[in-house]
Structure 1
Amino acid sequence: MPENFESFIQQHRDAFEEPGPSPKVWDALERELEGSRKGRIVSMMGRNWFKAAVIAVLLVNAAVLFYIAKHKQHQQQDLAVVIPEIQEAKVYYTNRINEKLELINAYPANELGLDSAARQELQLRNDTYKTLENELKNNPGNQRIRGAMIRYYQLKLELLDKILEELQDKHATPPTHTKKQYEAEI
């Protein structure tokens, strides 16, 4: 049987070796495959454009948040440099202003002649102070804002000194009674 099989193969060798499909068939097949690849990608993008847009928006948001975080960190570093200068002035002026306010508050309210709005403005932490403090936090390196903060303290002290001076002129001697003692006497 093996001899028969070998002789059969040798006799029909040409029939076994056919050339295969023509080059036209291969070209048509390649064109069809390339066309389907492009169409598939375009059709996938057509169906998933919303997902692509969401991913793009998330990437932009992440970049913006990163920038904001870096900017905040930079501002906090600037505040760390500025705060020692301002902190020292703040402690000094705050102590002086609080002393003057205590002396003024020792007088009875009817002798002061100030309404509630004026008394609110005399307090250290009024709207002007809060605005300056926020501006200083937002622009720690700005010399004008730091100067304005110091000037605010100085003007507040001058105003309190003038009020105390007028109160002392009205009353020959400074009050020895505190506000609570006046209320107790009344």
Structure 2
Amino acid sequence: MPDNFESFIQQHRDDFDVPGPSPRVWDALERELQESGKGKVVRLMAKNWFKAAVIAVLLVNAAALFYLTKNKEQHQQEVAALSPDMQEAKGYYTSRINEKLELINAYPAEELGLDSAARKELEVRNDTYKALERELKNNPGNERIRAAMVRYYQLKIDLLDKILEELHEKHVTPGQTKKRYEAEI
């Protein structure tokens, strides 16, 4: 059988070698592909690219707005979950800390001698604060965490007071400089 098959192929070899399409067919096919090279979507985008860009920007803005609104609602719910006495303490201590930070920030940076890491640690919401806040959210009734939060605020105020004392001893405060110059004039 294999010899018979091979002899059949040998005898009809010319029949199996069919020539491909003529060059005229290939040329026509290439012209057709070049004409319809751009799809409808691409042609529409070429004409209306500005409209598409505006729509894309609007969609991104809508997504960002949705995310921020949802995040703000979650934060408000978390704050509402805290007891009223912790909210009151947080407001009181935060305002005092911010007042002291404003006084410290009134000094020129070169006179403070604090690098960016030290300045970040002076802010109210540093890593320690965030860790305590997470723990308080996870265990809102835990008195030890509440006491630690209040102690954190007190230590932060004490630290800022010491920094202000050293600045007053070393340098004349910006307000005093202004008063001194007004007195001289």
Question: Match for residue 86 of structure 2?
Answer: 86
Question: Match for residue 130 of structure 1?
Answer: 130
Residue 174 of structure 1, CA deviation = 2.0
Distance 2:122 2:139 in 1: 26
Matches within 5 A, 1:1-186: 82-171=82-171, 173-176=172-175
Normalising by structure 1, we get a TM-score of 0.51
Root-mean-square deviation (CA), in Å? 2.3
Residue 134 of structure 1, CA deviation = 0.5
Distance 2:99 2:80 in 1: 28
Deviations 1:45-101 (A, max 9, x none): xxxxxxxxxxxxxxxxxxxxxxxxxxxxxxxx9x85742010000010000000000
Q: Partner of 1:129: helix, strand, or coil?
A: helix
Deviations 1:101-127 (A, max 9, x none): 000000010000001110000000000
Amino acid at match of 2:173: P
Q: Partner of 1:107: helix, strand, or coil?
A: coil
Residue 176 of structure 1, CA deviation = 2.1
Residue 136 of structure 1, CA deviation = 0.2
Provide structure 2 residue ranges, at least 5 long, that are not aligned to the other structure. Answer: 1-76, 177-185
Return closer, same or farther for 1:115/1:80 CA change in 2, 3 Å cut-off: closer
Bigger relative CO (Cα 8 Å, ≥ 6 apart): 1
Larger radius of gyration: 1
The answer to whether the Cα contact below 8 Å between 2:82 and 2:137 also exists between their aligned partners in 1 is no
Provide structure 1 residue ranges, at least 5 long, that are not aligned to the other structure. Answer: 1-76, 178-186
Distance 2:83 2:109 in 1: 37
Amino acid at match of 2:122: L
The 4+ residue runs of structure 1 with deviation greater than 6 A are none
Normalising by structure 2, we get a TM-score of 0.51
Amino acid at match of 1:125: R
Q: Partner of 1:94: helix, strand, or coil?
A: helix
Distance 2:137 2:173 in 1: 40
Return closer, same or farther for 1:143/1:108 CA change in 2, 3 Å cut-off: same
Residue 175 of structure 1, CA deviation = 1.5
